[in-house]
């Protein structure tokens, strides 16, 4: 199988969302052109992305909405539910716990940790905050979220890996090291702000997003 690029995976998420909407509207078929709609995706890109995984469409007709949605759900691994541990019960941690969207998509937060004695023992979104030293494989989570201050981030990552995490979502503005076999994604808001600052400062140097077809 050809290796799949991160951009393709992100676009699959996008297609999935569009397909869910379109299915809710009761539409039966959809063309690659309509799936592409918006921001820098061409219909050729859609067909190429999908072709890495199979032939889901019918020439002359397009794709069956529900069928394609189910295929993409399977490809993205969303047929099962994922158990998530959140470390850091501060603002970002609480925001994540409060957001219902994740459980709708199949991500269940099963444990919350912190080191602040003020927070340990308290209730957060239906879960009791536990001390980070309690982090262990017994909780049976696959995904760990790091929502701690920067200085703790690497230690937390190590602890999450030791406790069996196979994927980590990091909100701390620092590059983390994880062993091969552990997937890491970093959301760095500082970087996003700085990227905007750059774009506003040097408008002619900033590459514009590709035009839609």
Interface contacts to its own copies, rule CB under 8 A: 1, 3-6, 9-10, 12-14, 16-17, 38-39, 75-78, 82, 90-92, 94-96, 98-99, 101-102, 105-107, 142-143, 166-169, 173-175, 177, 180-181, 183-185, 187-209
Cβ count near 8 (within 10 Å) = 16
The reply on whether position 186 binds DNA by CB under 7 A is no
- In the complex, minimum distance from the CB of residue 121 to its own copies, in angstroms, rounded to a whole number: 21
The reply on whether position 47 binds DNA by CB under 7 A is yes
Question: Which among its own copies, DNA, none contacts residue 197 (Cβ within 5 to 8 A by kind)?
Answer: its own copies
DSSP letter string over 29-43? Answer: EE-HHHHH-STT--H
- Identify which of residues 59 and 80 has a Cβ nearer to DNA in the complex: 59
- The first and second tokens of residue 69, run together, are 């949605």
Q: Which of 18, 19, 50, 109 binds DNA (CB under 7 A)?
A: 50
Distance between first and last Cα of the chain: 29
Q: Which residues, in sequence order, are CB contacts of 137 under 8 Å at separation 6+?
A: 162, 163, 164
Gap between the Cα atoms of 99 and 97, Å rounded? 6
- In the complex, minimum distance from the CB of residue 19 to its own copies, in angstroms, rounded to a whole number: 13
Using the CB atoms, write b or e for 51-68: b if 16+ within 10 Å: eebeeebeeeebbbbeeb
- In the complex, minimum distance from the CB of residue 20 to its own copies, in angstroms, rounded to a whole number: 11
């Amino acid at each position: 199988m050809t290796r799949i690029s991160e951009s393709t995976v992100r676009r699959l998420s996008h297609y999935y969302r569009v397909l869910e909407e379109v299915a809710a509207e009761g539409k039966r078929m959809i063309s690659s052109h309509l799936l592409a709609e918006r921001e820098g995706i061409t219909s050729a890109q859609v067909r190429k992305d999908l072709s890495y995984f199979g032939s889901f469409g019918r020439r002359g007709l397009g794709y069956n909405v529900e069928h394609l949605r189910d295929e993409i759900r399977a490809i993205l691994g969303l047929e099962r539910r994922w158990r998530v541990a959140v470390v850091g019960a501060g603002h970002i941690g609480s925001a994540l716990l409060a957001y219902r969207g994740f459980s709708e998509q199949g991500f269940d937060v099963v444990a919350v940790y912190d080191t602040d004695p003020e927070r340990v023992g308290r209730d957060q979104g239906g879960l009791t905050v536990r001390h980070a030293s309690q982090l262990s494989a017994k909780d049976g989570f696959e995904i760990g979220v790091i929502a701690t201050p920067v200085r703790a981030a690497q230690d937390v990552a190590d602890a999450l890996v030791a406790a069996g995490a196979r994927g980590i979502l990091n909100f701390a503005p620092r590059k983390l090291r994880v062993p091969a076999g552990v997937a890491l994604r970093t959301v760095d808001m500082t970087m996003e702000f700085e990227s905007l600052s750059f774009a506003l400062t040097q408008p002619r140097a900033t590459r514009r997003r590709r035009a839609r077809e």
